[in-house]
Amino acid sequence: MPRRMMLDVLKGKAHFPPPLWMMRQAGRYLPEYRETRKRAGSFLDLCYNPDLAVEVTMQPIERFGFDASILFSDILVVPHALGRDVRFEEGRGPLLTPISAPEIAALEGDMFHVNLEPVYEAVRRLRAKLPDETTLIGFCGAPWTVATYMIAGHGTSDQAPARLFSYREPPAFKRLLKVLADHSAAYLIRQIEAGADVVQIFDSWSGVLDDASFEAFCVEPVAEIVRQVRAVHPDVPVIGFPKGAGARYESYRQKTGVTGLGIDWTVPLETAKALQRQGAVQGNLDPLRLVAGGQALADGVGAILKALGDGPLIFNLGHGITPETPVAHVEAMVKQVRSAAR
C-alpha cells in the first residue's frame, strides 16, 4: 500500500514538501459542490445521504489531489443524533431550539448510532473509493463549541449565552459537556472502525474563555475524548484544533494528549516552531490570503514553508476556506506548496 504521508508526519517525521489539505475543502467555493448541494435539498440531507456526502468529499480530491480527505459532515450532527432539533437556513447558518437545564438532565443517546449510521456508511465508502495514498480524516466538534450552539440556539460573536449558562448552571453545564464528550468519543471510534485514519476535534470557540473556563470546558472534555479513543484505538492519531487558544496552545497539547496540533493564523511562526518541537503542527495560512491571492498568498505560503518546513508540518489554513475564495487561488497555493524547494 502506498504510504499515507500525513500519518508519517503525525508520527513526528518531517516531509518536504509537506502534506497538504484544507479545512472545509469540500464546500461552497467549488461550483461542483454548489450543484450537488442543490440536488440534496437541505444541508442535513446532504450530510445524511452517503451517496452525496461521498460525492462532495471526493470533489476537492479529484480537482486538487490533496494528501488528505476529510469526511463531509457537520459538528452539529452530534446534538441532532441526541434528539435535538437542528436546521440550517440560508444566510443564517445553523439554528437549534436552546436547551434548558432540565432538558440537559434528560438527554440520552439510545438512538445515537442508529441516527449516525449514514455517516458511518459514507466513511466506509470513502475509504474504498479514495486513492490508497490519501489519508481519510474523521472529525467531531469539541464539547465546548457544540455546547455553545445548543445553549444559544445559533452562532454568536462571543458565546455570551453559553458562558453565562456555565456560570449560572454549573452542574447542568458540566453534565452537558460530559454527555457530549462521551458521545463524541463513541462517534469518533465508529468513524475509525469505518475506515478513518485520523480524527480531528474542532474547538472553534476556545478563544473566548478565561483561564479557568478554558481548562474546564476545553481541555478536560477533549482530554476525556482522547482517553476514550486511545483506549480502543491507541495508534490512531488525534488532531486537536483549539482555535484562538493563543498562549494556551502548548498546555492544551500537553494536557489533552492530542497527537497533532492545529494552529490558527494568529499564532506567530516563532511560536509555531516551538510547538512543532513537541510534535506535528497543522496550519496556519490566513484564509483571507487565499481569498486575496497574488503576492499576499505567495508571501504567506512561503513564510510558513520557510519557518516550519524542516519539521513535522501538515500545511493547511488557519481556519476553514471561505465561500468567496477563487478556485484559481487554491490551484496556485497547491502548486506553490508542491513545487517548493529547500
Beta strands in 214-287, from DSSP E residues, in sequence order? 238-242, 260-262, 281-285
As given in the structure block, the three cell numbers for residue 88 are 440550517
The answer to whether residue 190 is catalytic is no
As given in the structure block, the three cell numbers for residue 173 are 453545564
Catalytic residue, from 8, 45, 74, 182: name it.
Answer: 74
Long-range pairs, 14-17, Cβ under 8 A, ≥24:
14/309, 14/310, 14/311, 14/312, 14/313, 15/313, 16/309, 16/310, 16/340, 16/342, 17/305, 17/309, 17/315, 17/337, 17/338, 17/339, 17/340
Catalytic residue, from 4, 37, 163, 248: name it.
Answer: 37
The answer to whether residue 63 is catalytic is no
Give how far the C-alpha of residue 313 lies from the chain's centroid of Cα atoms, to the nearest Å. 17
As a whole number of angstroms, the distance between CA 161 and CA 10 comes to 36
| Segments in 84-169 forming alpha helices (H) | 101-105, 112-129, 143-152, 160-168
Catalytic residue, from 48, 149, 187, 252: name it.
Answer: 149
Catalytic residue, from 4, 24, 163, 289: name it.
Answer: 24
As a whole number of angstroms, the distance between CA 253 and CA 245 comes to 11
Catalytic residue, from 28, 63, 124, 127: name it.
Answer: 28
As a whole number of angstroms, the distance between CA 110 and CA 108 comes to 6
Q: In Å, what is the CA distance from 262 to each residue of 1, 62, 109, 304?
A: 27, 24, 29, 14
Question: Can you tell me whether residue 305 is helix, strand or coil?
Answer: helix
As a whole number of angstroms, the distance between CA 137 and CA 144 comes to 21
The answer to whether residue 74 is catalytic is yes
Which residues belong to the active site?
A: 24, 28, 37, 74, 149
